[in-house]
Every structure is written in C-alpha cells, then in structure tokens.
Structure 1
Amino acid sequence: MIYTVTLNPSVDFIVEVEDFQLDGLNRMSKEAKYPGGKGINVSRILQRIGVDNTALGFSGGFPGEFILDALKKEGINEAFIHVEEDSRINIKLKTGQETEINGLGPAISTEKMNELLKKLEGMKEGDILVLSGSIPPSLSKDLYHDLTKKFAAKGIQVVVDASGKALMDVVKEHPFLVKPNHHELGELFETKTETIEDAIHYGRILVEQGAQNVIVSMAGAGALLINHEGVYSATVPKGTVKNSTGAGDSLVAGFIGKWDQTKDLLQAFQYGVASGSATAFNYDLAEKQDIETLLPEVQITKL
C-alpha cells in the first residue's frame, strides 16, 4: 500500500483575469478550485492510474471539508486528522503571468501529530510512504528526517519530495527516492546546476550519502534517474505547457505507482516522466489516458 502525507494541504483557488488592473476592480474570466498539496496531488494521480493509496494529513474548517469531499468524490481513501483552525487557501492568479499567494495553514499540536504517527504505525514492510511539501512552522523542522529514519529502518520505502534542509537531512537515512528539480539540487549544495553534467555530479553525491534513487527533473531538458546501478536520462514529450503546478508531484506518483506494480525502475521512470509531462500539458492533473498517450515519446537512455 502507498501512503501519502500532506502536512499543510490547501484549497487551490485558480483565478484568471484578463486586462488585470492594479488598484482597480477586476472580474474573473475563469475560476476553479482543487484540493491542493503535494501529497494530495500524488494521491490523485495514483487513483487515476488505478493504484490504491491512502492520503493522510491535517484538515480543518470549511477549506478542510472541501478537501476531504473532493478526495472522496475521486474515490481516494483518506485518514486525515481534524484540527480546529482552517486549512489554508492558496490563490493562483493568472493574468498572462502567474502570481501565487499562499495561505499560512493551521498550527498543529503535539497531540494531533501523535495521532498521525499512530496511524502511520500501521504500515507494513514493503509499503511506500510519500512525504511531500513544506513542514508547517508549528512542527519540528527535523520531522521528515525523523520519519524517514523511523520507517526506513522498518522496511518502509520512504519517498521525500521536499527542498533545502528538510531534503538534505533525510538522505543519510536511506530513503527509497528523493526528487529535487535542478534548481533545488543546486540550492542543496549552494551552487547552480545549469547542465546535465552538473546535475549528474550532485545527484551522485546524494546517492553516495545514502539515497537509493534520485530523480532530477530538468524542465525541457528531460529528467535523470541516478542510483548505484548507473545514470539514466529520459526525454520529455513535446507539448504546450499549460500548468506547471503538480507536474513534479505527478512524476513522483507515476514513478512509485508503476514501481509498485512492476518493481521495474526503468519502467517506473518512463511512466513518471510521462505523468509529469501530461499534467504540465493540462489545466488540472493528468488522466491515465493522457499519460499513456505520451508514454511512447519518453525514451530512456543509460549514460
């Protein structure tokens, strides 16, 4: 079973405004609301490709009710913990350019965190745990490290999609997968990764430090899978990018979903890249048909 954790989920309120006027009255030409948060995106893609999973995290208030209702409508199992304060609302304003305004989210008490830990204790060896997104200020900055150390030692395959210190700290605990993009990879080492050679160099360091698999997304330049067996490059399909939000989460979901089904890393890598691209070419997260249409265009090469 795959479990996703979204510590600070959101309602993503997407607003399109033509001829946006600062300090004036603007009217929406389009609007949409989706359940948001990196782990939730992973769960939504997994459900669409037919892979059972359970979504966990914290939810509160009317935004929390919207999130849980949306998950139920999509047939996703959820085991969220109720908190008193409202879950956050993130505004994505599209005016020809895209401006994001993210909410703060609720404070999480020690008692509520312990409830979540108790639910995670039910995982079994071979299960997959996905830790995605930022850690709320009310929780320990070492939370992803602590969870990875605890559950990887029990044979759980831990996937971490985060950035900065939260990502760097987990590597030594042997996570199954980490997925920085090339900008985040450079930030880990206080440099810039502008070429494939740069990404391979620093990705290999993460493997040497303990990560079992590293996927580095390189935008239009494709993606890399780096592990002890070698370095693999994936091309990306051609298409018009309509929405970059959720593309990285879709890559993670496609990868772990196909890995869970086949235990073939290269098939999983190919499917993950197709999943990320399919989401980028849609306004919402990709559907299974979108992914499988693009799949033949993703070519895997060992470097």
Structure 2
Amino acid sequence: MIYTVTFNPCLDYVVAVDDLALGEVNRVTRETVMAGGKGINVSIVLKNLGHPSCALGFLAGFTGDEIARRLQLQGIDTDFIEVSHGMSRINVKVKSNEETEINGIGPDIDERDIDELYAKLDALATDDILVISGSVPAALPGDIYERIMKRLEGRGIRIVVDATRDLLVNVLPFKPFLIKPNNHELGEIFGVELKRRDEVVPYAKKLQERGARNVLVSMAGEGAVLIAEDGQVVEGPSPAGVVVNSVGAGDSMVAGFIAGWLESAGDVERAFRMGVCTGSASAFSLGLAERDQVEALLATFNR
C-alpha cells in the first residue's frame, strides 16, 4: 500500500488576472479551487494513474472539511487527523504577468495530534511505500521528518522524501528509498548553481553517498537526472509541450516514478520515464496529470 503524509494541507484558490495591479481592484478571469498540499497531489496523481493510496495528515475547521470532501469525491482514501484548533490553509495562487502565491498558516497541532499520526504510521507494513513531502508548519517539531524515519527504521518500508535543505539533508542517514530535489534545491545544499544535467550528476551522487538510495533531480524544461541505487545514471530532457501550470508538477513526477517502478517490478529506467512524463503532463495542463496524457507523452518521449 502507498501512504502519503501532508503536514499542512490546503485549499488552493488559483486565479487568473490580466495585468495584476497592486493597490487596485483586479477582476479574475478564471478561477479554480482544489485540495492541495504536496502529499495530497501525489495521492491524486497516483489515483489518476490507477494506483490507490491513503492520504494522511492534519485537517481543521471548515476548510479541512472541504479538503476531505473534495478528496472523497475524487475517490482518494483518507485517514486524516482532525485538529481541534484553527483551520486548514487557503493558499491563493495568482497567475498574471508573473505567478504570485499567498500561503495561509494552518491549524494549531498539539502533541496528541502528533501521537495520533505516529500511531497510524506504526501500522504500516513491510514493502509499503510512504511519501513524506512539503514544508513543516510552525506547530510541528522541526525534526518531524527525522522522527518519523527513525521510528520506521528497519521495517522494510520504502520512504520517499520530497523536501528542501535541512529537511532533506537530515534524513539521508536513514537511507530513504527516493529523494527528489530540483536542481535549484540541490544547488542550494552545496552552494552552487546547476543549470545542465551533466552538472547535476556529481552533486546528486554526493547525496547518494550520504545515504539516499535513489536520487531523482527535476529540472523543469531541462528534464531530469536519476542516480539509481544500482549505480545507473539515467537522464533525459522533458517531452515537448507548452507549460501552462507549474503547480504540482514535481509532486506528479514523484507519483509517476512510484507508478512506473511498481508497474515494471523495479525497472528504474521505466520509472524515470514515467516520472518525467507525468510531471510534464501536469505542467502542460490546468489540472494534475491523467493517465491518457501520460501515455501520450510516453509514446513520444526519448531520453
């Protein structure tokens, strides 16, 4: 079974505005509301690709109720913890001449809520896949990623981590099955600027040397690089297409990699291609990737 954890789920309110002007009244030309958060995005895309998962995390207030309702309508299994104080975030994403995001805070999560999450994670079994991704709200301990991985260490659970900077670096000793930084995040870790796939390879290998089993680096239009557990270096450009939406593309790549890995009995090259095409399918559409979109890109994708 696949499980995803989203510590701070949200409702994404995505609006298009022609020539956004600060300090003035702006009229929205297009709007969309969707359940969001990195782990939730992974669960949605996995569902679209035909792989069930269970979404875990914390919800609160009327916004939390709406997040749960929307996921249930999409057929996503959920097992969220209901938090008593505060409300789940509303994140406003404005698409105009530039993309602007205004992200909410999230609910007040206490020790009892955290213990309830631990209890749910303790029920995971050998060969389950757990995806932990996204930022950690101020209400949670800053080392929550490490605490979870230490708790599950040695149980044969494949843990995927999609996080930035210290959140990512500090879990490497626990040997995550897969990590997925982008090239900018990878560069920030080592204090370098990485623009080409060949530049990424040595730094991705450094993360593998620190403990990560598989390192998948996304690079937007430049494509992606995978340093596989068996030593393979798999890299390639993105499929051709017009980017209309960057929200959820990285999460879609994670979901696609997992789906490809499961469908091919662990063929990392197939998983890589599936990941790249799934991330691209989300980037080329207003919503998150659907199976037919991914298959169409796979048919034309050459790495």
Cα distance change, pair 33–136 in 1 and its aligned pair in 2 (3 A): same
Q: Name the residue aligned to 1:106.
A: 107
Q: TM-score normalized by structure 2? A: 0.96
Tell me by how many angstroms 1:66 deviates: 1.1
SS at match of 2:171: helix
Rounded to whole Å, the distance in 2 between the matches of 1:237 and 1:57 is 33
Write out aligned runs for 1:133-282 (5 A): 133-227=134-228, 228-263=230-265, 264-282=267-285
Q: Name the residue aligned to 2:10.
A: 10
SS at match of 2:28: coil
| Counterpart amino acid of residue 166 in structure 2 | K
* Aligned CA-pair RMSD: 1.2
Rounded to whole Å, the distance in 2 between the matches of 1:269 and 1:152 is 26
Tell me whether 214-223 or 4-13 shows the greater mean CA deviation.
214-223
| Counterpart amino acid of residue 259 in structure 1 | W
Residues 173-208 of structure 1 deviation map (CA, whole Å, 9 limit, x = unaligned): 100000000000011112222332321011000111
Rounded to whole Å, the distance in 1 between the matches of 2:219 and 2:24 is 39
Rounded to whole Å, the distance in 2 between the matches of 1:214 and 1:117 is 26
Tell me by how many angstroms 1:20 deviates: 2.8
Structure 2 residue ranges without an equivalent (≥5): none
Tell me by how many angstroms 1:274 deviates: 0.5
SS at match of 1:184: helix
The answer to whether the Cα contact below 8 Å between 1:237 and 1:297 also exists between their aligned partners in 2 is yes
The answer to whether the Cα contact below 8 Å between 2:63 and 2:88 also exists between their aligned partners in 1 is yes
Runs of 4+ more than 3 Å apart = none
Q: Name the count of aligned residue pairs.
A: 300
The answer to whether the Cα contact below 8 Å between 1:152 and 1:175 also exists between their aligned partners in 2 is no
Rounded to whole Å, the distance in 1 between the matches of 2:99 and 2:192 is 26
Tell me whether 124-133 or 135-144 shows the greater mean CA deviation.
135-144
| Counterpart amino acid of residue 111 in structure 2 | T
Rounded to whole Å, the distance in 1 between the matches of 2:295 and 2:210 is 34
Q: Name the residue aligned to 1:29.
A: 29
Rounded to whole Å, the distance in 2 between the matches of 1:99 and 1:148 is 33
